[in-house]
Every structure is written in C-alpha cells, then in structure tokens.
Amino acid sequence: MDKKEYYLNNRQKLLDYGKEYYLKNRRKYLEYKRDKYYNDDSFRQKQLNNRKQLFELIWKKTVNHYGGKCACCGFNDLKKKVRQCHFLQFDHINGQGNKHRKDEKYAHLFYWLYKNNFPGEFRLLCASCNVAMEPHEVICEYHKWEGRRKP
Ligand SMILES: [Zn+2]
Ligand SMILES: [Zn+2]
C-alpha cells in the first residue's frame, strides 16, 4: 500500500486522531500559557503590551474612520493624551453614548464601534468640545461662545 492509498483508506481515523491530538495539545498549550502568565512577569508584561498595541491599532483605525479630527474644532493630534486618556473621544450624536456603552459587553466604545462596522450615529470630538457639547448640536457651547465673542 502506498502512502496515498493508506491515507485514503484511513482518512477518517487520521482526521479523528489529528483532532484529538490537536485538542489535547491545545488544552496543554493553554494551561502552559496560563501558568506562564501568572508566574512569569516578563511574559505577562509582553502579553499585556501586545494587547495594548493591538488596542491602540484598532483605536487608530476607528479614529481614522470617523474622520481623524474633532467634529467641532478640528483638533487632530491622535497622540495627545490627557490623564492617560486620548484627547480625541467618540461621541454618540444623540447623547446616548453612556447608556449605549452600559448595554454592551465591550469595555471600550471604540472597540464596540470597530466590532459593529462603524455605525453612523457616532462622531469624533476632542475632550473639551465633548464636555461642552449638547446632544444633537454640531458646535459646542464653548466654541459658540468664542464665536460670539469675536466681532
Ligand atoms: Zn474640539
Ligand atoms: Zn468645540
């Protein structure tokens, strides 16, 4: 019997064996990784960094999708952080952002947006326009005031 014939005759057996082998080893691998995660500080740090990098990448992708700048003032420094939070933030146009977030299992709104193919009822605002923005408005209260102040 040549190799090919052997394979054809025992295909299902080989597949089952492969599956079993895979599952057994996957469990072992996951256990190994979990132990390493808890016991090895540098491994944990690396894992956490990878996760952070991935999140940062998804954040950037999502920000760019929503125009990459504050919808009110045009602030567009993606790197800027204040108190460890991005200065650019996502805002629900109807002011439903917080309610929305509580309904969903994702801790980060940007991640939820990414997973849901960037729904249209959100926009990007800088932190200062965000706190000064009334629902449904397009210019924040601060910039309205500043606009009035100028002749
Ligand atoms: Zn702004
Ligand atoms: Zn503004």
Q: What angle do CA 52, 54, 58 make, to 5 degrees?
A: 115
Task: Say how far apart CA 106 and CA 37 lie, in whole Å.
Answer: 23
| pLDDT one-digit tens code per residue, 17-32 | 888 899 999 999 999 9
The predicted pLDDT at position 99 comes to: 61
Question: From the CB of residue 28, how many other CB atoms can be counted at a distance below 10 Å?
Answer: 10
Tell me the domain boundaries of the chain: 68-149
CA of 140 to the centre of ligand 1 (A): 8
Which residues are bridge partners to 91 per DSSP?
123
pLDDT at 151 over 80: no
Q: What is the CA(109)–ligand 2 centre distance, in A?
A: 21
What would the two tokens of residue 131 be? 């706190």
Dist. CA 87 → ligand 1 center (Å)? 9
Q: For residue 128, report the distance from its CA to the centre of ligand 1, in Å.
A: 6
Ligand number nearest CA of 138 is 2
Q: What are the residues whose beta carbons fall under 8 Å from the beta carbon of 60, sequence distance 6 or more?
A: 78
Å from CA of 95 to ligand 2 middle: 15
State in Å: Cα 72 to ligand 2 middle.
5
Give the burial class of 63: count Cβ atoms within 10 A of its Cβ; 0-12 exposed, 13-18 middle, 19 or more buried: buried
Q: Give per-residue pLDDT as tens, 62-75.
A: 999 999 999 999 99
Backbone angles phi, psi at 96, to 5 degrees: -100, 10
The answer to whether 122 and 113 are in contact (CB under 8 A) is yes
The whole model's pTM is what?
Answer: 0.71
